[in-house]
């Protein structure tokens, strides 16, 4: 009950904010639409607006872009935001960098109609598919380079970058793991953390799938992964701590199961302080892509579309690559010779036996996880 006090303060703040935005929204919206003639909001490609130059012009008039849930050390989004802002002179307002994909959708609903609503989303596939009707269809200039299974046919959402599930570790504290099963060894006692609760966080979900593949499971069968974490906990190796850059730096989480690009970002960030290394287990390569989408109610519709063009351009895709994530156009760019070869060479090594779960397989795994995870680690 006492803690409701904090809630009340937040509530009062929310009302104040709502009032402020209610007052602030109309002029901004009128200005934006008057300038663009309202075309940008319905444009399904740059051509609809009369080409890239016209799109850039409209976006510059809007002058701002709201992004959400983009941590600067995740897939190099820090550089991406800065590069976009500098190139087009557009102010990028980054909100709630540590939010989850579902938080992005919730924020869009909450802020609908205000000029603070997110313009673009970066989403896990589950959330993207479940909310496809909230996205404006838009096909970027490089649309044809995206493999058909990684994009919505209508252009409502499409893969932007992906990666593999990996094990990051402090090489000065633990030996290098070569397989998932290695983590059961006594050297890893009290040291292995998973990035989130797998019934809630996409990265952790893929972490359990990786553990399943490393223990005789398959994309259809996540049970061995749950069993593995149960053993990990029984051995005293499993850390129920949510890893963050701070827990890694302070040594609380010496082994972290997470996407290779987030683990790799730690390597760069902690250079000189910690010998943080990243390995993708060869017996358990789980890949997944994140997805880009435009909010159908975007307060800055032209800037939102220009952002899509930017992240999917050679320049944007190479920025992802520099952050150790794998841009979705990598094959096409390799063929065209536009890929940043140095950055490509720095990616953690992977073989050719990678697994990408289909939506049906993921749904099945989720149900199994919902029923068994809490018991396994509780």
Interface positions with other proteins (CB under 8 A): 1-8, 11, 15, 100-103, 106, 123-124, 126-127, 130, 190, 194, 196-202, 205, 233, 236, 238-242, 250-252, 366, 369-371, 373-375, 377-378
In angstroms, rounded to a whole number, what is the distance separating the alpha carbons of residues 28 and 353?
A: 51
Least separation in angstroms between CB 41 and other proteins: 27
For 287, half-sphere exposure in the C-beta direction (CA atoms, 13 angstrom radius) is 20
Strands 276-279 and 158-170 come out as antiparallel
Dihedral sign for Cα 73, 75, 76, 77, please: negative
State which residue, 10 or 47, has the beta carbon closest to other proteins. Answer: 10
Least separation in angstroms between CB 312 and other proteins: 23
Least separation in angstroms between CB 370 and other proteins: 5
In angstroms, rounded to a whole number, what is the distance separating the alpha carbons of residues 230 and 156?
A: 39
State which residue, 4 or 352, has the beta carbon closest to other proteins. Answer: 4
Asked whether 120 and 298 are in contact (CB, 8 A), the reply is yes
State which residue, 167 or 239, has the beta carbon closest to other proteins. Answer: 239
In angstroms, rounded to a whole number, what is the distance separating the alpha carbons of residues 33 and 54?
A: 15
Least separation in angstroms between CB 359 and other proteins: 12
In angstroms, rounded to a whole number, what is the distance separating the alpha carbons of residues 53 and 36?
A: 13
Least separation in angstroms between CB 378 and other proteins: 4
Between CA 22 and CA 34, with CA 28 as vertex, the angle to 5 degrees is: 135
Least separation in angstroms between CB 119 and other proteins: 20
Asked whether 283 and 185 are in contact (CB, 8 A), the reply is no
State which residue, 241 or 360, has the beta carbon closest to other proteins. Answer: 241
State which residue, 341 or 359, has the beta carbon closest to other proteins. Answer: 359
State which residue, 200 or 334, has the beta carbon closest to other proteins. Answer: 200
State which residue, 170 or 340, has the beta carbon closest to other proteins. Answer: 170
Least separation in angstroms between CB 3 and other proteins: 5
β partners of residue 163: 288
In angstroms, rounded to a whole number, what is the distance separating the alpha carbons of residues 263 and 259?
A: 6
Cα torsion through 74, 79, 82, 84, rounded to 10: -90
Three-state SS for 209? helix
């Amino acid at each position: 009950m006492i803690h409701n006090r904090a809630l009340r303060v937040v509530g009062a703040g929310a009302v104040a904010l709502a009032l402020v935005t209610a007052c602030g929204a109309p002029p901004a919206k009128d200005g934006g639409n008057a300038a663009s003639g309202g075309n940008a909001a319905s444009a399904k490609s740059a051509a609809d607006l009369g080409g890239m130059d016209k799109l850039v012009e409209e976006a510059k008039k809007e002058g701002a872009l709201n992004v959400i849930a983009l941590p600067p050390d995740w897939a190099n989004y820090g550089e991406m935001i800065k590069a976009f802002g500098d190139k087009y002179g557009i102010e990028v307002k980054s909100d709630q960098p540590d939010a989850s994909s579902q938080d992005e959708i919730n924020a869009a609903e909450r802020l609908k109609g205000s000029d603070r609503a997110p313009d673009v989303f970066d989403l896990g596939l589950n959330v993207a598919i479940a909310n496809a009707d909230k996205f404006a269809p838009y096909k970027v200039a490089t649309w044809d380079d995206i493999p058909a299974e990684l994009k919505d046919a209508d252009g409502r959402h499409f893969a932007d970058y992906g990666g593999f599930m990996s094990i990051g570790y402090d090489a000065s504290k633990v030996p290098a793991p070569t397989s998932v099963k290695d983590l059961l060894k006594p050297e890893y006692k009290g040291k292995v953390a998973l990035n989130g609760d797998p019934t809630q966080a996409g990265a952790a979900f893929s972490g359990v799938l990786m553990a399943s593949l490393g223990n005789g499971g398959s994309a259809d069968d996540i049970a061995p992964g749950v069993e593995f974490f149960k053993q990990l906990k029984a051995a005293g190796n499993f850390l129920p701590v949510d890893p963050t850059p701070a827990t890694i730096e302070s040594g609380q989480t010496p082994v972290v199961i997470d996407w290779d690009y987030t683990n790799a970002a730690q390597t760069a960030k902690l250079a000189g302080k910690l010998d943080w290394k990243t390995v993708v287990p060869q017996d358990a390569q789980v890949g997944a892509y994140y997805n880009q989408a435009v909010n159908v109610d975007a307060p800055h519709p032209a800037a939102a579309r220009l952002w899509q063009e930017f992240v999917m351009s050679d320049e944007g895709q190479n920025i992802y690559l520099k952050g150790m994530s794998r841009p979705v156009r990598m094959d096409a760019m390799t063929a065209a010779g536009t890929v940043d070869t140095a950055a490509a060479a720095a990616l953690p090594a992977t073989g050719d036996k990678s697994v990408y779960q289909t939506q049906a397989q993921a749904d099945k795994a989720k149900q199994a996880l919902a029923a068994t995870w809490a018991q396994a680690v509780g």
